[in-house]
Amino acid sequence: MKKELHIFFTALMFYTRIPCPKNIDHNPDYLNKASRYFPLIGLIVGSMAFGVYCVFNYLVAPEIAVLFSMIASVLVTGAFHEDGFADVCDGFGGGWTKEKILTIMKDSAIGAYGAIGLVLLLVLRFQALTQLIDVSNTKFLIFNSQFTILLLFVSAHSISRLAAISIVFTHQYSRDDASSKSKPIAQTYSWKEVVGAFFFGLLPLVILSYFQWQMLLVLIPVFLTRFFLARYFQKWIDGYTGDCLGATQQICEVVFYISVIALWKFI
């Protein structure tokens, strides 16, 4: 149990800005095992974003509350995944060879592709979340609409992280150097990492589907998106990088919101 707590706090320290015990560090062995808790981190981030939404929804308009919930998730993660998405936009937008793409993604400066992509992504996420909450408040799903929204928040964060970390289980790390801080996670994994990732990744959606089984259908567009992103990364850079995982998480999160909205139009 003590070792599992250490692994969990390693994941929490690596993926968020939440304070952790002082004895936690970036031990490569624990970082390899930390992937089992990546979707669980999504549950935590999603729950915190929902909490901020509830507080501001009580004080101001729902749209402003959604915006503050987005700000909270960015602050909690340190824009870790948004930064990866921007780097992927720059790398694949401006590079035409594996070496050039990897070099651009390694550059800390953001370019036009990254800036435009990030703005469009955040606008799309804001609009999708706003409409999702509006629909959940008017369409009966569970006895409490706030509980529905909570499950949607945490499901989006956990499933999108499951989609991202699953690429580690099926593809090879692209870089040959140690320049990426996510490389230790990508080196090895066991059945425990796979089982843990899928358990925590799917848990909120399974609970949601208990009240409305059709919600399981959102897994189809999310993992189709994951499949095509992974194939795209494989084609251009022979695998993935940490930035690719961050971009996958961001895109799959938005796809989840849009899929739920589209699904509710037919059920």
DSSP state of 176: S
Task: Give the CA dihedral 199, 34, 18, 152, nearest 10 degrees.
Answer: -20
DSSP state of 96: S
Sign of CA dihedral 103, 107, 111, 115: positive
Computed over every residue of the chain, the mean pLDDT equals: 90
Q: pLDDT by residue (tens digit) across 82-100? A: 999 999 999 999 999 999 9
Q: Which residue has the tokens 């629909």?
A: 135
Q: Is the pLDDT of residue 185 over 60?
A: no
DSSP element (H, E) containing 9: helix 2-15
Sorting pLDDT into bands at 50, 70 and 90, what band is 265? confident
Helix 38-59 / helix 145-170 crossing angle, nearest 10 deg: 150
> pTM for the complete prediction?
0.93
| φ, ψ of residue 265 in degrees (nearest 5) | -75, -15
26-34: long-range contacts at Cβ-Cβ below 8 A with a sequence spacing of 24 or more?
26/181, 26/184, 28/184, 28/187, 30/6, 31/184, 31/185, 32/184, 32/185, 32/187, 32/188, 32/189, 32/193, 33/7, 33/190, 33/192, 33/193, 34/7, 34/8, 34/10, 34/185
Mean pLDDT across the stretch 114-142? Answer: 88
Non-local CB neighbours of 123 within 8 Å, separated by 6+ positions: none
- The confidence band for 6, taking pLDDT boundaries of 50, 70 and 90, is confident
C-alpha dist (Å) from residue 222 to 65, 97, 140, 155, 167: 26, 28, 24, 12, 13
Contact in structure between 263 and 218 (CB atoms under 8 Å): yes
Q: Tokens in use for 178?
A: 């140690």
Confidence of residue 181 (pLDDT cuts 50, 70, 90): very low
Domain ranges of the chain: 37-264
* pLDDT tens figures, 212-263: 899 999 999 999 999 999 999 999 999 999 999 999 999 999 999 999 999 9
203: its two tokens: 């848990």
Q: What is the largest CA-CA distance in the chain?
A: 53
Average pLDDT over residues 42-56: 97
Q: In the structure, what pLDDT confidence band is assigned to residue 176 with cuts at 50, 70 and 90?
A: low
